[in-house]
A and B are shown apart, each in its own frame.
Chain A
Amino acid sequence: MNISNDENNKDMRDAFFDEIYLSSLNNNNIVVITNDMDIYSLRELKTKRPNQFINVGVAEQNMINIASGLASMGMKVIIYGIAPFVVYRCYEQIKFNICSMNLPVTIVGIGSGLSFAFDGPTHHAIQDISVMNALPEMQILNPSDSDSAKHCSDLVLNSESPFYVRMDKGMHPKIHNSNKYEPFKIIKKFNNNVILSSGTIINNVIDSVKTKDIGIIDIISLKPFPDEIFNIIKDVENVIIIEEHSVTGGLGSIFSDHATILNLKFNIHLIGFENKQILEYGSREWFYNQSGLDVKSLTKRIDRILNAE
């Protein structure tokens, strides 16, 4: 897919935050808070609406607490920062002040998976879904392109729930073309076998199964998990989950939990990062290659599963 030639495509962050910016100009109650991270779409908000944009500096615990205080007074608060720092560093604040108070704060974690690969293990977000999934009130969105990112902003602005939005950075192929938010989308039709994927890694999945008899579903809403999917895939034999996250606690775990609770039997195959520390430095593509998530490796792994029938 050619990304750069599509005039309608844009950086996923801008697709999301352009909407937030436009809404905030018409709604004084929208407040954006960051831990000193720059977003192109929000530069004008700082100057045009200084009371609606707060840079707390590098102080994530305080960021969450301020957000919850604002939200308790009726403000719609959007937080953003590099994913691991707005998830792990302030986890207790999120659990206590946002979730136990059930306040409408949206945490946008920038840099899903290994988006910040070269910045090292502190910047990787491959356990974030797992820990956010443990918080009862938290809803989790994982858009896969600029179109789905844009519609995620509509959803969070019109909801009263806490949200975690796992946001990739940069330009990615546009795989959706929708006029509204959709919790999941069938990307490729299927018969006996289907892949569930989430986030921009889905592009590797698409490229690895072009000629195979296997479908693809993109999951945007990881929580609540769209259980209607089970009606659609009820006759499927193999379900392969491919995600840019640890296989412990990610989409695969969420899917398996729901299937178990609903007493549904599938051959479930989990493909993601192993539950171990990644301490090396390199590019995202190199890590994909090392972890069997590049197109070539995925092609082989999927073939192996399908041929084992």
Chain B
Amino acid sequence: MEKKLQIISNQIRLKILEIVAAKKIGHIGGTFSCVDLLVSMYYGGCLNYSDNNYPDKFILSKGHACLALYIILNDLGLITKEKLDSYGEDGGLGGQLDIGINGVDWNTGSLGHALGVCAGIAHSSKLLNKNYKAITILGDAECDEGSIWEAILHISDYKLTNLIAIVDRNRLSVTEVIQDNAVFKLLPIALPKLGWFYKEIDGHSFPEIISAVQESKISQKPSFIVANTIKGKGVSYMENELKWHHSVPTNEQLEIAYKELR
């Protein structure tokens, strides 16, 4: 299973590189850091996306990593190859997610919204007496948003258990290394005290990701998983380099990347 997921992840990273190189636009670094999380969602059983009546709702809050999701949705048959090929074209798939795309549950582009939205979705599961989950992948930089903290407190107060937030903790924002920010010192202290299931994991280890999500689901608590990741994961010269937030590789760089990922 683990090996199979790793192969899928590498294939997705290769496809991302191909598309970004061809279209000359995209966010490689922050997409590569969350590929393994997304693969765990869609291929590792973390997300129940195919239930006919009440599937889990998934929000990729860091929507600038949309290309990985487009590739997955295409692979799962939810969007066509033509649709995927429209990435970067006028009127085609864009740099953020849109609910007009089959398989996309929420628009993205503005940060700090998804946790509160998930609170509403989780609250609806109480009213409908159903057990679907609201799952979101947040960027680490967006955890500065006040609305994230408003949501954290509200979710505690209302004991909204059908909710899992996973932070892609790649430690790089657009302009800075976010290693020792107060927000990531506060989260591990505050969340357990506020009744959350809190866990830090290696965000590139499939067994750790999948078991953390399974633990979340049986915890009877709202869950916050900090997945430690590497921006640009999988390509040596991209890893932990700020410039790969939205740079496009040259032909020589591409050759090296292809070799490393194959």
Contact = CB atoms under 8 A, between A and B. Distances in A.
B contact patch SS: helix
B182 to A, nearest CB: 20
A115 interface: no
A96 B116 CA distance: 13
Given A56-B154, A61-B146, A61-B150, A73 B126 contact: no
B80 interface: no
B120 A69 contact: yes
Contact of B126 (A51, A57, A67): A51
B12 interface: no
Interface string A235-278: 00000000000000000000000000000000000000000000
B107 A66 contact: no
A35 B99 CA distance: 28
B165 to A, nearest CB: 13
Nearest to B117: A69
B147 A100 contact: no
Interface in B116-146: 116-128, 134, 146
A65 B119 contact: yes
A9 interface: no
Contacts of A59: 150, 153-154
Contacts of B146: 61
A31 B158 CA distance: 14
Contacts of A71: 120
B117 A97 contact: yes
A66 B154 contact: yes
Contacts of A51: 123, 126-127
Contact of B116 (A29, A69, A73, A100): A69
Nearest to A55: B157
Contacts of A75: 124, 127
Contacts of A61: 116, 146-147, 150
A72 B127 contact: no
Interface string A51-81: 1101011010110111111111111000000
Interface in B154-173: 154, 157-158
Interface string B96-123: 0001000001110110010111111111
- Residue from B105, B106, B150 with most neighbouring chain A CB atoms (10 Å): B150
B124 A96 contact: no
B226 interface: no
B47 interface: no
25 contacts: A31-B123, A54-B123, A56-B154, A57-B154, A59-B153, A61-B146, A62-B147, A65-B117, A66-B116, A66-B151, A69-B117, A69-B121, A69-B124, A70-B120, A70-B121, A70-B123, A70-B124, A72-B120, A73-B57, A73-B120, A73-B121, A73-B125, A75-B124, A96-B107, A101-B107
Question: Which 10 pairs across A and B sit closest by C-beta, in order of nearness?
Answer: A69-B120, A65-B116, A62-B150, A73-B124, A66-B120, A59-B150, A70-B120, A69-B117, A69-B121, A61-B147
